[in-house]
Structure 1
Amino acid sequence: MALFGGLFSDSDSDSDDQPQRQSIGSLLSSLPDLVKRIIRGEIELAKAELVAKLKAAGVGIGLLVGAAVFAFVLLEVLIAAAVLAVSTALPPWLAALLVAAALLVIVAVLALVGVRSLKRGVPPVPTETIKNVKSDVHALKGERNDSAEERP
C-alpha cells in the first residue's frame, strides 16, 4: 500500500528482494509522524485544489464582466441605431445595426465561455482531497475500502 511506503525500506536489504522488517514498537513509534505527514499532505492537496477551482471561477467571472461591458455597449449602439433610423433614411441605421449584430455575437460568445468556466470552479470543494482523507481513515482503521480508487 502506498500509505505505508515509508515504513519498509529496501535500501539496507541484501541482494534478495525482501523488504526489511521493522518491529511492532518501531512501527508504532513512527505512526504519529506518518499521520502528521498524511494530514499535511492532504492539507496541501486541498489548498492546491481550491486554488485551481477559484482560478477557474475567477476567469469565468472576468469573462462575464467582459460580456456585461459589451452588452452595455450593444445597448448604446442599438439606441443610436434607433435614433438614426428615425432621423434618416436607410444607410446610417443599417450600419449601426450591423455593428450591433457583431457586438451581440461577441456578448454571446463571452457569456457562454464565462458560464462554462464558472461551472468548472463552482462549488469550490476539494473533492479529491475528501476522497483521499476517507481512504486514509479507512486504511488507518485497517478496513478495506473497495469503492475508493488507488491514488497515483
Structure 2
Amino acid sequence: MSSPEAPPPSRTDTSGESLGDLVSELTGDLSKLMRQELELAKAEIRQEAAKAGKATGMLAAAGFAGYLTTVLLSLALVFALGAVMPLGWAALIVAALWGVTGAVLYSSGRAKLRTVNPKPERTVETLKEDAEWAKHPTR
C-alpha cells in the first residue's frame, strides 16, 4: 500500500501572532516568491540562449559555405570565359560583375537603412501617456 501524500502546510491558526508579524511573514513570502520567479526566468533565458547560440553557429557555417560556393563558381566562370578569351580578361569581367553586384546591393541597403528610425516612437508615446496619467490619475 502506498501512503497518502501529506497535505501542503497551511496557516489557519494565526491567533498567537500580531498583525505586524503576519504582514512581515507575507512580505518575506512574496520576496521569496519573486526571487524564485527570477531564478526560473534566468534558467529559461540561459536555455534559450544556448539554443540560439547553436543556431547562430549553424547559420555562420552556412554563410561560410555560401561564400566558398560563390568563390568556386566565380573561378569556374573565369575558366569558362578563359576558353574563349585570355584568362586575364575573363577574370576582369567576373570581377566587374561582382563589383556591379556589390554597388547595387550597397545602394539598396543604404537606401533601406535611411528609412530606419532608431527612436522607439510607440514606447516614447506610451511613456508620455504614463507620465501624464501619474500626474493626474483621476482622469
TM-score clears 0.5: no
Greater RCO, 1 or 2 (C-alpha within 8 Å, sep 6+): 1
Larger Rg: 2
After TM superposition, the score normalised by the length of structure 2 is: 0.44
